[in-house]
Structure 1
Amino acid sequence: MDLDALLPDVGEFGTYQKALLWFVLLPGVFPCGFHAYNQLFMASKPDHWCRVPELEAAQVTGEAAKRLSIPREWRDGALRYNQCRMYDRNYTALLERAQSASTLEPPSSPVPTSPATSDALTSSTAQWSSDDGGGFDSGGTTPSEVPIGLFLASYLTTPPQDTEEFATTPCKHGWSFDDSEYSSTVVIEWEMVCDHDFQPTLALVLLGVGGLIGSYIFGYIQDTLGRRPAFFIYLFINCLFGIATAFAQDFTTWTVFRFGVGFTVPAILGTPYVLAIEMVGPTKRTMCSIFSNIAYSLALVALAAVVYYVRDWRHLSLATSVPFLTFFLWWWVMPESPRWLLANGRYDEAEKVLLHMAKVNKRQLPANYMFQLKRKYLVERDTFPGDMKVDDDKRTYGVMDLFRTPNLRRKTLIITFIWFTNTSVYVGLSYYAPSLGGDEFLNFFLAGAVELPTYLFLWPAMDYLGRRWTLCSSMVVGGAACLATVLVQNNEDVTLALYCIGKMGISSSFVVLPLMATELYPTVVRGLGISTSSVVGMIGPILIPLVNYLGTEMLVLPLLVMGFLLVAGGATSLLLPETLKQHLPQTLEDGEAFGADWGPKEWLSCKIMPAKPSPSVELQQSQQQRQKVRAPRLLVQPADVTIFECDASEEALMMSKPMNHHSEKMSEI
């Protein structure tokens, strides 16, 4: 029983669907958006350098301490302090020398007066005078009043002469961190830097592994228990582990909790997205789909605002989890999908949902509405058994059905590859935003905000250019922008602009791909095909943190890898047949026949082919034309007798079939 045939009676997109969409389903995508990326900021790695307790005890900190204890190196195109090594000096002896000095012997050259050094060292009025090549002017202070930090900094203006002072060693006493951006992150708390700097990447990999497993299991739960229970089960897991993350006391526990959160990402997005599609009529599905994508982009923008104001990782974990506890109030307002209820034969529950929809939408339905629909369904099934799916002909489909025939196998492999590239690059670019340089909060905000303009021209382009060219151009333009960053890798502003173009491209393709996949996979294996492609695509979020980790030494390396993937996926999309204005394939035979004649000549064609019925539809139409069968029309229904009006061809058809309940009544009449 098709819900699309019933929605005109209850309202295809009335007040009920609008309220459900705006106040339940669209906010329902926020947990996925928040928990997919809040870990980037929990594990943010601020600038750090080796900690020297002796200098801290003498209150020598900041620039003075770094100049004394940290060697410099070329990194990211500039001379910067080393983050993992320190001078191997006897700092206690050095401090004793400074404290016991009765006079200050100036070095051979003045103390540098750069703004950074000046800010760190001018806590007193003592200055070097350059009038006599380095004389000291205490400004009226005695040597004992000159800060030790100034003396030690001046000591560094000439390189140490003995080789022991040139030697460096790994950090011995941990690290000092720049707390100007974050008050606390897991990297700061558990010192996950230098030899342990892979740990944040490992946590992201395990988050992706949890997502792959969770997506596979979620599909099963959603199809067996229903859309509504699946959402609340995953919401409970999401909130439980999200809140528990804030109380982790070590890296191992934190990683386990993050794996639990990852188990629900992106699966928890499934119910709001599917319900938004299943609760409305066919003409409104495109709009609901794009609204869901807009809501997800807004979730990223909102997360940027949250992380900007919450700089402690424990508070951030709570801020991105506790508010979603209010979503459990939706238990009393979120309906089960009537489409799923009808498909599983739960007519009474479906009737309650449909009657409530009709009431809110101000539509009148008869009290025995579902009873009449079931009777009509049974009459049609008995009258046209060739057109209905009866229990005796049921078949169980599996993943191997996607690969049994050459054309369907080719399309499955292409769709799955493009899904992998889309998932990898979308997640990769989102992960990469804070690493672009400059203000990482602004970068992440732009990563979400630049997705919004794409939706203004995306759907008109899909209707004018078709699915495949829209998908191809989105991926190629985005990939080319990512590849172009190698030419401007020392210009942060241009790199950021190219990054935004790449993000716009991948955002567009991520809207087109699911729709095109839905139109390519035949009905009998459509859900299975999309599930298979998306699960394989989840391998991307497992691998992409490793690519970003390798880009630590070369900032644009991840962009080059992701750009190559986008261009390759875009070129491959042209091998798929155009689906615009085409009938959806129903059977495996339809899926094999659809696009079987699509060859090199058509790959670069922009022509939109006229709609052509699938082979199964053509066969059904030809059979009905030959038989000239009309559905029986109900004339009279006195007591227990039903009278049907039939023509000669109908009567001959009925006589050729086994006598059923209705034909027995006709023979009696």
Structure 2
Amino acid sequence: MAFQDLLDQVGAMGRFQIIQMAFFILCNAIVAPHIMLENFTAVILGHRCWVHILDNDTVSDNATGTLSHDTLLRISIPLDSNLRPEKCRHFIHPQWQLLHQNGTFSNMIEPDTEPCIDGWVYDRSSFLSSTVTEWDLVCESQSLNSVAKFFFMAGMLMGSIVCGYLTDRFGRRLLLTWSLFQLAVAETCAALAPTFLVYCSLRLLAGMSTTTILTNTVLLIVEWTTPKYQAMGATMAIVSCNLGQSTIAGLAYGIRNWHTLQLVASIPIFFLFIFSRFAIMLPTFGLFLHLKHLATNVFLVQFLLGAVSLPSNYVSIWTLNHKGRRISLFFFMSMMGIYFLVIIFVPEEMQTMRIILTTLGGGLSFASVSCFVTFSNELLPTIIRATGLGIIGVCTNLGAALAPLLMILETYAAPLPWVIYGASCILAGLTVLLLPETRNQPLPDSLQDIKNEGKVSREVKQEELSIKVTQF
């Protein structure tokens, strides 16, 4: 039976397809703006040469305090053909004689000028900063601004070349998950890039990821729907990209610092992992690897975390057996998220309270991992359990690797990493409620058993086996 025929029988647009389509539309709306992001992060601001007599506060106040800014500008910066200050050259020496002349000076010898050797002064009335002001990509270096955009587009080209093969080789979802991870890390690190070369390299990786994400979202929408809904799904995917482009314009209007804008556009990509197992290990390792940020006495906290592991796992066993898998994992993940959000508001002086909360957070983390391992094994059918657990292992390791990287954001706002850890816990807990309950259910042997038919299937198999034994 063809896959499309199977979709016709089980439902062309059920709950699964609707949730999946909504997720992919959200992906496109968040990812697509990165194509146009440099319209705002790499904008070329008005600029002129930095000159000692004009821009050195000490000199301006003491030696030339009676002269206006415009007067000092006139004797320091030559005018271009439009009678505006030159952007890339300045007078070698102040031209005081210009203060006593009016009009043009065609009969005079042109004063000697030179390129900007001490840097530039930028007009920050529209934007506070950009990659241009970060690395002075003006005048002789202005072409490098286009080079940065070329790197991103080259990445998109490379992504288009390899996307098809890798997608067919490793599967749509796995490659989509990896590309989301790569884009989130590359674009977040781009905001913190120490050099222009590092920034271009990160934008190259971002371009490769963007193409792969946008291609695979459309593929999955089309392939999981019947021809009746395929045109609608593909169109909605494109519309979501367009809406994302409008959103970035609004963000850029309110955020005029390129570092902040880059982070605001990149960090939400991390939250797209709430539907995967990033979401469990990200906050877990965020807690375990950064104990020094939570309490000064690391030795005591490490000991208490080890001591609390046994009672926390016992509690997880009790809740799994009496409350079910979904409720247990939802509860522990949500409480862990609340812990991350609460610890932000506890002053560092209250070390006893911080140690108690960190110990409780560690216990919730241990319980969450126990529930996660149990639930994952019971959800997967036997024929693909090993493969599925391998993929889940890759996802959990990616989440673990991502946890320390998020601490880089502490440079801009100390609570930001903890907010991300907490929000990912709560959102992941809510997502768990979409999964089927597996408590007191037999392990599924096949994909057919996943549709709540495992018990019936097993009973039929046992009857057939008993009949065969009786006949023998």
TM-score where L is the length of structure 2: 0.55
Q: Structure 2 counterpart of 1:275, which letter?
A: L
Per the alignment, residue 143 of structure 1 pairs with: none
Query: Post-superposition shift, 1:155?
Result: 3.9
Q: Which runs of 5+ in 2 are unaligned?
A: 62-66, 280-380, 389-433, 437-444, 450-463, 465-472
User: Is the contact made by 2:12 and 2:226 (CA closer than 8 Å) also made in structure 1?
Assistant: yes
Opposite residue 270 of structure 2, the aligned amino acid is L
CA contact (8 A) 1:88 1:165 kept: no
CA distance, structure 2, for counterparts of residue 308 and residue 62 of structure 1: 30
Structure 1 285/161 Cα, relative in aligned 2: closer, same or farther at 3 Å?
closer
Partner residue, 1:295: 240
Unaligned runs of 5+ in 1: 95-151, 335-345, 360-366, 372-638, 640-669
Tell me: CA distance 1:220–1:286, structure 2 relative to 1, closer, same or farther (3 Å): same
Matches of 2:204 and 2:231 in 1, distance apart?
Answer: 33
Q: In structure 2, what is the Cα distance between the partners aligned to 1:61 and 1:264?
A: 52
CA contact (8 A) 2:37 2:248 kept: yes
Q: Does 1:82 align with 2:89?
A: no
Q: Please state if 1:41 is matched with 2:40.
A: yes
Kept in 2: contact 1:67–1:156 (CA 8 A):
no
- Quick check: 2:128–2:256 contact (8 Å CA) kept in 1? yes
State the shift of 1:62 in Å.
5.4
Secondary structure of 1:169's match?
Answer: strand
Separation of aligned partners in 1, 2:131 and 2:100: 36
1:70 is matched with 77
CA–CA distance in structure 2, aligned partners of residues 79 and 347 of structure 1: 78
Q: Classify 1:153/1:301 alpha carbon distance in 2 versus 1 (closer, same or farther; 3 Å).
A: farther
CA shift, 1:300, in A, is 0.3
| C-alpha contact 2:187 2:262 (8 A) present in aligned 1 | yes
Counterparts in 2 of 1:97-496, with a 5 A limit? 154-155=99-100, 157=102, 163=108, 166-331=111-276
Structure 1 residue 268: deviation in Å? 1.4
Deviation readout 1:362-407 (Å, 9 max, x if unpaired): xxxxx99959xxxxxxxxxxxxxxxxxxxxxxxxxxxxxxxxxxxx
Corresponding residue for residue 598 of structure 1: none
For residue 210 of structure 2, give the secondary structure of its aligned residue in structure 1: coil
CA distance in structure 2 between the aligned counterparts of 1:18 and 1:39, rounded to whole angstroms: 33
Q: Which amino acid aligns with 2:5?
A: A
**Which whole-Å CA distance do the structure 2 matches of 1:369 and 1:249 have between them?**
50
Shift in Å, 1:156: 5.3
Judge conservation of contact 1:12–1:280 (CA < 8 Å) in 2: yes
- Structure having the higher Rg: 1
Task: Find the counterpart in structure 1 of residue 344 from structure 2.
Answer: none
SS in 1 for 2:127: coil
Name the SS for the 1:49 alignment partner.
Answer: strand
Judge conservation of contact 1:32–1:266 (CA < 8 Å) in 2: no
Q: Cα gap change, 1:217/1:2 in structure 2, threshold over 3 Å: closer, same or farther?
A: same
Deviation at 1:329, TM superposition (A): 0.7
Is the CA contact 2:31–2:269 (under 8 Å) kept in the aligned structure 1?
A: no
User: 2:5 maps to which residue?
Assistant: 5
Contact 1:214 1:267 in 2 (8 A): yes
8 Å CA contact retained: 2:157, 2:208: yes
Q: Residues 161, 72 of structure 1: CA spacing in aligned structure 2 closer, same or farther, 3 A cutoff?
A: closer
CA contact (8 A) 2:87 2:139 kept: yes
Report what 1:558 is aligned to: none
Aligned counterpart, 1:607: none
Per-residue CA deviations over 1:481-520 (Å, capped at 9, x if unaligned) read xxxxxxxxxxxxxxxxxxxxxxxxxxxxxxxxxxxxxxxx
Q: Distance in 2 between matches of 1:273 and 1:235?
A: 15
Rounded to whole Å, the distance in 2 between the matches of 1:204 and 1:275 is 29
Q: How far apart in 1 are the matches of 2:184 and 2:446?
A: 42
Cα pair distance change 1:349/1:2, threshold 3 Å: farther
CA distance in 2, matches of 1:283, 1:16: 17
Distance apart, 1:235 and its partner CA: 0.8
C-alpha displacement of 1:238: 0.5
2:383/2:446 contact within 8 Å kept: no
Distance 1:61 1:28, change over 3 A: farther
C-alpha separation in 2, matches of 1:175 and 1:162:
31
Aligned-partner Cα distance in 2 for 1:11–1:79: 70
| C-alpha contact (below 8 Å) 2:182/2:205 kept by paired residues | yes
Read off the aligned partner of 2:18 and give its amino acid letter: K
Matched residue count: 289
Q: Contact 1:87/1:165 (CA < 8 Å) preserved in 2?
A: no
TM-score (norm 1): 0.39
In structure 2, what is the equivalent of residue 97 of structure 1? none
- Structure 1 residues 65 and 298: CA distance shift in structure 2, 3 A: farther
Do the aligned residues in 1 keep the contact of 2:189 with 2:202 (CA within 8 Å)? yes
Cα contact 1:67–1:153 (8 A) shared by 2:
yes
Q: Report the counterpart of residue 316 of structure 2 in structure 1.
A: none
Q: Helix, strand or coil for the counterpart of 1:239?
A: helix
RMSD: 3.5
Q: Secondary structure at the match of 1:86?
A: strand
Counterpart in the other structure of 1:600: none
Residue matched to 1:18: 18
Residues 348 and 28 of structure 1: is their aligned pair in 2 closer, same or farther, counting only changes over 3 Å? farther
Are 1:192 and 1:200, in contact at CA under 8 Å, matched by a contact in 2?
yes
Q: Is the 8 A contact 1:42 1:313 kept in 2?
A: yes
Q: 1:61 to 1:260 in 2, by over 3 A?
A: farther
Question: Which stretch of the first structure deviates more once superposed, 27-36 or 62-71?
Answer: 62-71
User: Contact 2:74 / 2:98 at 8 angstroms: preserved in 1?
Assistant: yes
Give the number of the structure whose residues are more often helix, by fraction: 2
Asked if structure 1 preserves the Cα contact closer than 8 Å seen for 2:34 and 2:265, the reply is: yes
- Percent identity, aligned pairs only, is 25
Distance, in Å, in 2 between the alignment partners of 1:278 and 1:349 is 21
Pick closer, same or farther for the CA change 1:26–1:153 going to 2, 3 Å.
Answer: farther
| Deviations 1:282-339 (CA, angstroms, capped at 9, x unpaired) | 11001111101100000100111111111111112211111111111122699xxxxx
Say whether the 8 Å CA contact 2:128–2:257 is kept in structure 1.
yes
Provide closer, same or farther for how the CA distance between residues 369 and 197 of structure 1 changes in structure 2, counting only shifts above 3 A: closer
**Partner Cα separation in structure 1 for residue 384 and residue 70 of structure 2:** 70
Structure 1 pair 369–68 and aligned structure 2 pair: CA distance change class (3 A): closer
Task: Assess if the C-alpha contact under 8 Å between 1:215 and 1:264 holds in 2.
Answer: no
Counterpart Cα distance in 1 of 2:130 and 2:278? 38
Whether the aligned pair in 1 keeps the contact of 2:78 and 2:86 (CA below 8 Å) is yes
User: 1:213: how far off?
Assistant: 1.6
Q: Secondary structure at the match of 1:320?
A: helix
1:292–1:17: structure 2 CA closer, same or farther, 3 Å change rule? same
Deviation at 1:245? 0.8
Q: How far apart are 1:199 and its partner, in Å? A: 0.5
1:160 CA displacement: 6.7
Opposite residue 52 of structure 1, the aligned amino acid is: V
